[in-house]
Amino acid sequence: MFIATYVDLRVVGLATEDQQITDAGRTEVLSRHGVSESDLLDFAAYHALDDLTFMRQVWDEIEVLLEAQRPMMDDRGRE
């Protein structure tokens, strides 16, 4: 949940002119994933305190998924 939602939030944000997600974009992504901003913050806070190794793996996976999205995001910028 956290990884997929975070990646979608970043992809939507990066697709904008200023590379910042709008409030409407954030609301749509969170709704699509069935989570709240608080859910994401709670997940990060809980695991950051108890399991840094796990969180490093989470961010590594996010990085890999964002890199995989990059060609599609770059193509959108050329349209």
Q: Please report where in the chains the tokens 């994401």 appear, as a residue.
A: 40
User: pLDDT tens-digit profile of 45-77?
Assistant: 988 888 889 999 999 999 999 999 877 666 655
Model pTM?
0.81
19: left (phi over 0), alpha (psi -120 to 50) or beta: left
For 36, phi and psi rounded to 5 degrees?
-110, 165
User: pLDDT tens-digit profile of 13-37?
Assistant: 988 889 899 999 999 999 999 999 9
